[in-house]
């Protein structure tokens, strides 16, 4: 998907800690990127002193006389609080007459339980006092206690006064920033913990451009405004971002574990997500009891968007598969006209089209939306030209990449069909490894087919940064190859695709790109593919602040806060660093009035019933860069105008292309 790939407001948000946060005895780098594999993390420190044992119980009073001792011993005291809690242990039970008192309970953070008292004695001697309780494990009062415990690693003090370390193997990156007092923001007692799930390079997780976009938004909100305002006038509340892996290519359960860590361990209330529809559905199902709200930066399947049980807890920035159907159909018409001219085909000559899809939720949804809308060879629909036993001379071949190791058989079938155009409703299997094969459909098909090779209409998921780079590598290899069998100077023009377009007005996107490039020194094309993650953080932050004003910092409360940001007739604001405090002021001064928060993607035209912001299709293509002898991709060279069913813009990758 165009990678253009939570929150935990502490449940104790209404409490005002009076204990000062001390400066930690270490220095944090600017921007405070923390990453360390769990096996490399230092062992927890000793922490504060454990609780004290209770005092020994006193013997019973001697009342004189010769009464015999009663046989029952006193019961042990009730168990103290959980280890690490700031509570006293239970008091040892008082013994019966002549009995030994019970042992004191094991203490929590504060102290052990008092020892049991000896029973009263009507005989000569009083009962024996009980054993003193043991000291408990150290607990926490603020996040700083937990950061100290884990020797500077990102950590949180939970409402039950226990510590949780943020980073795990599945959630390896923690972004914060540096507070003015020198302590890291994740040690701030008022911090709001933000969860996210994006595709990370397993070997170099900090190099993910998607995570960079999240970090940039978090840092702008923290550095410009000090975090979110406190509704009661207390200190500002900085944001802390924990990033978990969302790529299930190498580990099918990584999303399940990551969501469990965010929801159960760190106790976030919302998540910025780069999750494919299947993974989003499973994540939503796995943690449904926690009522997390998702700010889904990519597309959602139509079925999930319409499910009544999502309870308004999923907000989606890049639409649904059906949003792209009309653009696919129009683009196929334009490609057909170009191919007929380029290959000197007569009007009576038929072209052949292959359509490739998978059973992934997004791909299957896209196929179901796109395939019936396609027409070529005149007024004929794709379905009417399908290859089947009753129509062996059909011109339309649908190929499903399903089952074990599907790519070799699919490529063999497509190559034998010899299509003029291949349409992708497939994701990774189209251009990258599917986990079994070293190459995807495109690499294998290009090697299997002689010239003239097909034109490719790629899918929104093929517009992710990694996939675009893979296509560029294929094109570059073909153009510069010295082997006549694979050298193909037409390659750059044969690849194009449909994805989500940026806003028609590029002002906000250009500002984001400039700040992004200045900070991370990356390629100029990168920011146009990750701005949706940046936007998602701003929506989440402002929705969380609106929820705090309503005193409902839960997932449903934050979702309700989101509805205050998307009124198209509300007072207009833009995301980005310049308007942060103005937005906070508007939300606080007029709690009953919504605003219209535009983003790099454009106006906030979300459907409040489904939580989906419809995608505007754009067309991307590839062009040869002779100076660097490499192929380069270009985004949004055309933009789909749904009202008039036309493309606008300048298709710069091919001369005399239809638009």
Q: Which of 61-70, 308-317, 442-451 has the lowest average pLDDT?
A: 61-70
Beta strands 421-425 and 353-358, pairing class: parallel
Does some domain include residue 118?
A: no
Does some domain include residue 76?
A: no
CA 183, chain centre distance (Å): 27
Q: Could you tell me the two tokens for 42?
A: 């230092």
Torsion angle, alpha carbons of 23, 16, 587, 502, to 10? 40
Q: Which of 262-271, 282-291, 574-583, 601-610 has the lowest average pLDDT?
A: 282-291
Phi, psi of 444 (to 5 degrees): -70, -40
Give pLDDT, residue 135. Answer: 47
Among 273, 291, 319, give the residue marking a domain's end: 319
Among 319, 353, 378, give the residue marking a domain's end: 319
pLDDT at 170 over 70: yes
Residues 255 and 154 reside in one and the same domain: yes
Taking the C-alpha atoms of residue 295 and residue 283, their distance in angstroms, rounded to an integer, is 13
Among 319, 349, 375, give the residue marking a domain's end: 319
Domain range enclosing 587: 507-598
Of the candidates 172, 295, 380, the one whose C-alpha atom is nearest the C-alpha of residue 613 is 295
Of the candidates 635, 377, 386, 609, the one whose C-alpha atom is nearest the C-alpha of residue 500 is 635
Taking the C-alpha atoms of residue 146 and residue 155, their distance in angstroms, rounded to an integer, is 6
The CATH number covering residue 250 comes to 3.40.50
Does some domain include residue 61?
A: no
Q: How confident is the model over 424-441, as pLDDT tens digits?
A: 999 888 987 545 556 899
Residues 206 and 253 reside in one and the same domain: yes
Residues 370 and 478 reside in one and the same domain: yes
- Cross-strand pairs, 595: 571
Taking the C-alpha atoms of residue 372 and residue 401, their distance in angstroms, rounded to an integer, is 19
Tell me the three state secondary structure of residue 650: coil
Question: DSSP E strands: which ranges in 101-154?
Answer: none
Does some domain include residue 97?
A: no
Residues 496 and 514 reside in one and the same domain: no
Taking the C-alpha atoms of residue 7 and residue 639, their distance in angstroms, rounded to an integer, is 34
Taking the C-alpha atoms of residue 103 and residue 72, their distance in angstroms, rounded to an integer, is 15
Burial class of residue 308 (count of CB atoms within 10 Å of its CB; 0-12, 13-18, 19+):
exposed
Contacts of 590 (CB under 8 A, 6+ apart): none
Residues 171 and 264 reside in one and the same domain: yes
Q: How confident is the model over 29-43, as pLDDT tens digits?
A: 333 444 333 334 444
Residues 339 and 312 reside in one and the same domain: no
Contacts of 332 (CB under 8 A, 6+ apart): 353, 374, 375, 376, 421, 423, 457
pLDDT at 505 over 50: yes
pLDDT at 228 over 70: yes
Give pLDDT, residue 104. Answer: 43
- Residues 474, 491 contacting (CB under 8 angstroms): yes
- Structure-token match 């769990």, residue found: 38
Q: Is the pTM of this model over 0.85?
A: no
Taking the C-alpha atoms of residue 535 and residue 519, their distance in angstroms, rounded to an integer, is 17
Using 50, 70 and 90 to split pLDDT, how confident is the model at 346?
A: very high
pLDDT at 489 over 90: no
Residues 410 and 535 reside in one and the same domain: no
Taking the C-alpha atoms of residue 242 and residue 253, their distance in angstroms, rounded to an integer, is 18
Comparing 116 with 547, the larger pLDDT belongs to 547
Taking the C-alpha atoms of residue 275 and residue 1, their distance in angstroms, rounded to an integer, is 10
Give pLDDT, residue 152. Answer: 86
Q: How confident is the model over 517-530, as pLDDT tens digits?
A: 999 887 655 656 78
Taking the C-alpha atoms of residue 593 and residue 193, their distance in angstroms, rounded to an integer, is 27
CA 499, chain centre distance (Å): 20
Does some domain include residue 417?
A: yes
Beta strands 33-35 and 270-273, pairing class: unpaired
pLDDT at 169 over 70: yes
Residues 305 and 333 reside in one and the same domain: no
- Residues 35, 57 contacting (CB under 8 angstroms): no
Residues 513 and 496 reside in one and the same domain: no
Q: Could you tell me the two tokens for 24?
A: 């930690």
Does some domain include residue 10?
A: no
pLDDT at 142 over 90: yes
Beta strands 155-157 and 163-165, pairing class: antiparallel
The CATH number covering residue 422 comes to 3.40.50.2300
- DSSP for 250-315, written as a single string: S-TTHHHHHHHIIIIIS--SEEEE---HHHHHHHHHHTGGG--EEEE-S---HHHHH-GGGTT-EE
Q: Could you tell me the two tokens for 15?
A: 């409490």
Residues 308 and 395 reside in one and the same domain: no
The secondary structure of the chain in percent helix, strand, coil, rounded to multiples of 5, reads 30, 20, 50
Q: How many structural domains does the chain have?
A: 3
- DSSP for 147-187, written as a single string: HHHTTTS-EEE-TTS-EEE---SSS-EEE--B-TTSSBGGG
Q: Which of 98-112, 239-253, 370-384, 581-595 has the lowest average pLDDT?
A: 98-112
Does some domain include residue 162?
A: yes
Give pLDDT, residue 106. Answer: 41
pLDDT at 382 over 60: yes
pLDDT at 188 over 80: yes
SS3 of 351-377: the string is CCEEEEEECCHHHHHHHHHHHHHCECC
Does some domain include residue 584?
A: yes
Residues 493 and 403 reside in one and the same domain: yes
For the chain, give the mean pLDDT.
80
Residues 474 and 340 reside in one and the same domain: yes
């Amino acid at each position: 998907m165009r990678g253009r790939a939570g929150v935990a407001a502490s449940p104790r948000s209404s409490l005002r800690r009076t204990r000062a946060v001390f400066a930690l005895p270490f220095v944090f780098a600017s921007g405070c990127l923390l990453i360390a594999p769990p096996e490399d993390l230092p062992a927890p420190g000793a922490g504060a002193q454990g609780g004290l044992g209770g005092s020994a119980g006193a013997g019973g009073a001697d009342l004189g006389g010769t009464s015999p001792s009663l046989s029952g011993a006193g019961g042990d005291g009730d168990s103290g609080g959980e280890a690490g809690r700031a509570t006293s242990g239970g008091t040892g039970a008082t013994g019966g007459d002549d009995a030994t008192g019970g042992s004191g309970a094991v203490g929590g953070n504060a102290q052990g339980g008092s020892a049991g008292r000896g029973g009263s004695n009507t005989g000569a001697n009083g009962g024996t006092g009980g054993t003193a309780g043991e000291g408990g494990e150290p607990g926490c009062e603020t996040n700083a206690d937990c950061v100290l415990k884990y020797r500077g690693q990102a950590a949180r003090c939970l409402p039950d006064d226990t510590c949780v370390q943020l980073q795990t193997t599945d959630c390896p990156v923690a972004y914060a920033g540096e507070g003015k007092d020198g302590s890291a923001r994740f040690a701030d007692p008022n911090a709001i913990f933000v969860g996210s799930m994006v595709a990370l390079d397993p070997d170099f997780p900090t190099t993910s451009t998607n995570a960079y976009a999240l970090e940039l938004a978090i840092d702008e909100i923290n550095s410009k405004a000090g975090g979110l305002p406190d509704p009661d006038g207390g200190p500002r509340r900085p944001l802390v971002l924990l990033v978990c892996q969302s790529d299930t290519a190498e580990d099918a359960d990584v999303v399940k574990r990551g969501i469990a860590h965010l929801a159960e361990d760190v106790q976030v209330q919302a998540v910025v997500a780069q999750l494919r529809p299947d993974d989003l559905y499973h994540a939503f199902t796995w943690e449904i009891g926690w009522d997390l709200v998702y700010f889904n930066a990519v597309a959602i399947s139509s079925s999930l968007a319409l499910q009544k049980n999502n309870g308004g807890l999923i907000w989606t920035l890049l639409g649904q598969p059906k949003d792209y159907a009309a653009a696919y159909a129009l683009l196929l018409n334009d490609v057909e006209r170009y191919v007929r001219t380029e290959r000197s085909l007569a009007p009576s000559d038929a072209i052949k089209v292959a359509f490739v899809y998978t059973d992934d939720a997004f791909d299957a949804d896209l196929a179901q939306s796109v395939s019936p809308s396609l027409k070529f060879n005149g007024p004929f629909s794709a379905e009417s030209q399908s290859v089947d036993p009753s129509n062996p001379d059909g011109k339309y071949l649908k190929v499903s990449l399903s089952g074990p190791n599907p790519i070799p058989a699919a490529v063999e079938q497509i190559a034998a069909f010899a299509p003029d155009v291949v349409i992708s409703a497939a994701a990774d299997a189209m251009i990258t490894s599917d986990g079994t094969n070293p190459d995807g459909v495109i690499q294998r098909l290009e090697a299997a087919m002689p010239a003239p090779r097909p034109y490719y209409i790629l899918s929104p998921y093929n517009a992710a940064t990694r996939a675009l780079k893979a296509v560029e590598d294929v094109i570059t290899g073909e153009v510069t190859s010295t082997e006549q069998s694979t050298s193909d100077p037409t390659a750059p023009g044969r690849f194009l695709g449909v994805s989500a377009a940026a806003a028609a007005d590029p002002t906000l996107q250009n500002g984001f790109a400039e700040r992004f490039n200045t900070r991370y020194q990356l390629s100029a094309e990168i920011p146009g593919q990750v701005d949706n993650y940046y936007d998602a953080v701003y929506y989440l932050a402002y929705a969380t602040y609106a929820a705090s004003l309503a005193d409902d910092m839960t997932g449903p409360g934050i979702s309700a806060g989101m509805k205050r940001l998307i009124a198209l007739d509300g007072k207009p604001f833009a995301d980005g660093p310049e308007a942060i405090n103005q937005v906070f002021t508007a939300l606080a001064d007029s709690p009953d009035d919504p605003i219209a928060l535009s983003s790099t993607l454009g106006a906030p035209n979300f459907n409040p019933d489904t939580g989906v912001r419809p995608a505007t299709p754009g067309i991307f293509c590839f062009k040869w860069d002779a100076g660097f002898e490499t192929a380069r991709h270009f985004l949004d060279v055309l933009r789909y105008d749904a009202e008039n069913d036309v493309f606008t813009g300048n298709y710069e990758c091919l001369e005399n292309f239809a638009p």
